[in-house]
């Protein structure tokens, strides 16, 4: 028997506890249905040598123009390409914004629970196994559709999320961006035995150590690095929230930026978005923490532009993660077939603040009939001029703003980069130094899965015990960030 065949047979009968990201909830899932070409989803064969023994499915809108983006979407354990196509919402935005989507599929021939091998160096490394098969799919689709090689993105759920992180690390020259949903940091585990440990709590590594795992995946690569979105439910007990923190640490370190967000805002579905800008002020890493959500991909069924997907096993009603991921990648901007949106206004700036107001201005956009101004992600005004003063704000409070140009029908186009305004007055920032146990007891932090997270920012403070000490800075009231230096209690 050939070694490669023997290895696959051994993997097939290996312990499901080590193999499955969803082992704890398998009792709620029926047998995986075989993927089928339905509703536009088509199987592609002979896309390459396929060393990872994967299947390729794809969807593209009719009359897709050349130089459109390309998205790779990876399903989770026990799922299929068809399930991800049906429930994730990606086909909706492929039609709306104009791009093709490839849905790779693994099967029980590779893994007893149809999990991508995010924990196996023979499958998730550059030039090897499943990772190489997925890149072959990328090259096939680029030739088939004439896709823009500078705008290729990858996203995945659970085991697909773990493989997404590995692909971003191994092939930063292929993928311009990624989105990891309920997944694992790149190279968190390199064996089946270590996989379960990563799920419940990854190693306590420094950001530099996490970043080194990415840099080691493609030695000598010097950038540019992919822009990464990280989605996580706070009540996920299959892939614990500590993985999202490790992912944040990993990719901010790769980008050479700190772990304190440039801005934080609130989105629908009890979702907190934290944005980490690069040196030019453009978001490089974004984290989306969905309060109370368990293990799965966040969807929001409905017909609105920012709504998508259908609920099913591991597709959970909260917020359309696919929409916000696509916007983060810029799929809604300057995209062939994307509907002729007005471009984002440039030059958004804060021109003044008082105790209860913030004044802003921006550059005019040709053909704009009005503008949509958003505060903390919520539309608050529709001025016709390029200036606006937002009133009724709280003293000593930080707000984030974006603006979009709207056409004659009131339809907004692409949104500008965010700016931050902090009103004057209010209570000065307070600092508290204490053990993690004391911070939780005092109501400044909370626990999840044995780890402590600062209230408001949700920054990971480490283990819940009396041995770890941090200084927390409170500003505004009830919002705490780690401030171990430069903040006196």
Residue 273 and residue 375 share a domain: no
Residue 133: other Cβ atoms inside 10 A = 22
Q: Is residue 51 part of a domain?
A: yes
CB within 8 Å of 242: residues ≥ 6 apart: 201, 202, 448, 449, 451, 460
For residue 337, tell me if it sits in a domain.
no
Measured CA to CA, the distance from residue 185 to residue 166 in angstroms comes to 8
Domain boundary among 390, 405, 422: 422
Are 404 and 325 contained in the same domain? Answer: no
Distance CA 234, CA 290 (A): 6
Domain span at residue 457? 430-482
Which pLDDT does position 338 carry in this prediction?
33
What's the CATH number where 409 sits?
A: 2.60.40.10
- Is residue 342 assigned to a domain? no
Buried b (16+ CB within 10 A) or exposed e, 269-283: bebbbbbbbbeeeeb
The answer to whether residue 339 is domain-embedded is: no
User: Is residue 311 domain-shared with residue 459, that is, in the same domain?
Assistant: no
Regarding whether 103 and 70 lie in a shared domain, the answer is yes
Residue 158 catalytic? Answer: yes
Residue 78 covered by a domain:
yes
Number of compact structural domains in the chain:
3
Whichever domain contains 204, its CATH number is 3.40.50.1820
Say if 338 falls within a structural domain.
Answer: no
pLDDT value for 23: 40
Same domain, 442 and 371: no
Q: Are residues 396 and 294 in the same domain?
A: no
| Residue 260 near residue 481, CB atoms below 8 Å | yes
Each of the 489 residues of the chain gets a pLDDT tens digit; together they read 444 433 443 344 343 434 344 443 332 333 333 333 334 899 999 999 999 999 999 999 988 989 999 999 999 999 999 999 999 999 999 999 999 999 999 999 999 999 999 999 999 999 999 999 999 999 999 999 999 999 999 999 999 999 999 999 999 999 999 999 999 999 999 988 898 889 998 888 999 999 999 999 999 998 899 999 999 999 999 999 999 999 999 999 999 999 999 999 999 999 999 999 998 888 999 999 999 999 999 999 999 999 999 999 999 999 999 999 999 999 987 533 333 467 889 899 999 999 899 999 999 988 888 998 988 877 899 999 999 999 999 888 888 898 988 877 677 777 788 888 888 887 677 899 999 999 998 999 998 878 899 998 888 999 999 899 999 988 777 888 898 887 866
The 8-class DSSP code of residue 244 comes to H
| 220/193 same-domain check | yes
243 within some domain? yes
Residues 321 and 410 placed together within one structural domain of the fold: no
The domain boundary, picked from 422, 442, 468, lies at: 422
- The answer to whether residues 183 and 126 belong to one domain is yes
Domain annotation covers residue 344: no
Residue given tokens 């680029």 in the structure block: 142
C-alpha 102/C-alpha 113 separation (Å) is 21
Are residue 208 and residue 128 in the same domain, yes or no?
yes
Last residue of a domain, one of 374, 397, 422: 422
> Are residues 398 and 298 located together in one domain of the fold?
no
- Do 363 and 320 lie in a common domain? no
Q: Which two three-digit tokens encode residue 29?
A: 């899932």
- Three-state SS at 331: coil
Q: Report strand pairing: 227-233 vs 177-181.
A: parallel
Global pTM exceeds 0.75:
no
Of these residues, 125, 133, 158, 289, which one is catalytic? Answer: 158
Count helices and strands in the chain by DSSP H and E runs: 12, 26
């Amino acid at each position: 028997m050939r070694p490669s065949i023997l290895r696959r047979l051994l993997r097939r009968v290996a312990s499901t506890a080590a193999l499955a990201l969803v082992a704890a909830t398998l009792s709620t899932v029926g047998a995986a249905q075989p993927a089928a070409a339905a509703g536009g989803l088509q199987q592609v064969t002979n896309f390459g040598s396929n060393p990872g023994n994967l299947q390729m499915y794809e969807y593209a809108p009719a009359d897709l123009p050349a130089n459109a983006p390309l998205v790779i979407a990876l399903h989770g354990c026990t799922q299929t390409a068809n399930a991800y196509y049906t429930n994730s919402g990606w086909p909706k935005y492929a039609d709306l914004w104009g791009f093709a989507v490839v849905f790779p599929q693994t099967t029980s021939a590779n893994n007893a629970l149809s999990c991508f091998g995010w924990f196996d160096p023979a499958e998730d490394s550059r030039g090897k196994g499943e990772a190489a098969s997925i890149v072959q799919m990328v090259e096939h689709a680029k030739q088939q559709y004439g896709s823009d090689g500078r705008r290729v993105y990858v996203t995945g759920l659970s085991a697909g999320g773990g493989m997404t992180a590995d692909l971003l690390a191994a092939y930063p020259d292929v993928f311009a961006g990624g989105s990891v949903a309920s997944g694992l940091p790149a190279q968190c585990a390199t064996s089946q035995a270590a996989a379960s440990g990563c799920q419940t709590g990854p190693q306590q590594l420094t950001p530099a150590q996490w970043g080194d795992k990415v840099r080691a995946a493609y030695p000598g690569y010097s950038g540019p690095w992919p822009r990464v979105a990280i989605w996580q439910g706070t009540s996920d007990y299959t892939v614990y929230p500590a993985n999202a923190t490790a992912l944040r640490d990993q990719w901010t370190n790769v980008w050479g930026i700190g772990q304190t967000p440039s801005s934080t805002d609130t989105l629908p579905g009890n979702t907190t978005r934290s944005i980490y800008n690069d040196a030019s002020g453009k978001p490089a890493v974004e984290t989306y923490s969905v309060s109370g959500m368990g293990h799965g991909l966040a969807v929001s069924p409905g017909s609105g532009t920012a709504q998508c997907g259908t609920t099913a096993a591991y597709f959970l009603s909260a917020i359309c993660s696919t929409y916000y991921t696509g916007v983060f990648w810029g799929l809604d901007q300057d995209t062939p077939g994307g509907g002729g949106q007005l471009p984002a206004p440039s030059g958004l700036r804060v021109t003044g603040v008082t105790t209860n107001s913030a004044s802003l201005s921006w550059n005019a956009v040709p053909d704009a009939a009005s503008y949509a101004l958003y505060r903390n992600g919520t539309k608050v005004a529709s001025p016709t001029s390029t200036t606006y003063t937002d009133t009724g704000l709280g003293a000593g409070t930080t707000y984030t703003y974006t603006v979009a140009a709207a056409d004659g029908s009131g339809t907004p186009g692409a949104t500008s980069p965010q700016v931050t305004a902090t009103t004057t007055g209010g209570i000065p920032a307070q600092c508290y130094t204490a053990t993690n146990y004391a911070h939780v007891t005092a109501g400044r932090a909370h626990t999840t899965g044995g780890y402590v997270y600062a209230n408001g920012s949700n920054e990971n403070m480490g283990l819940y015990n009396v041995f770890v000490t941090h200084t927390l800075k409170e500003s505004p009231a009830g919002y705490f960030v780690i401030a171990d230096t430069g903040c006196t209690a």
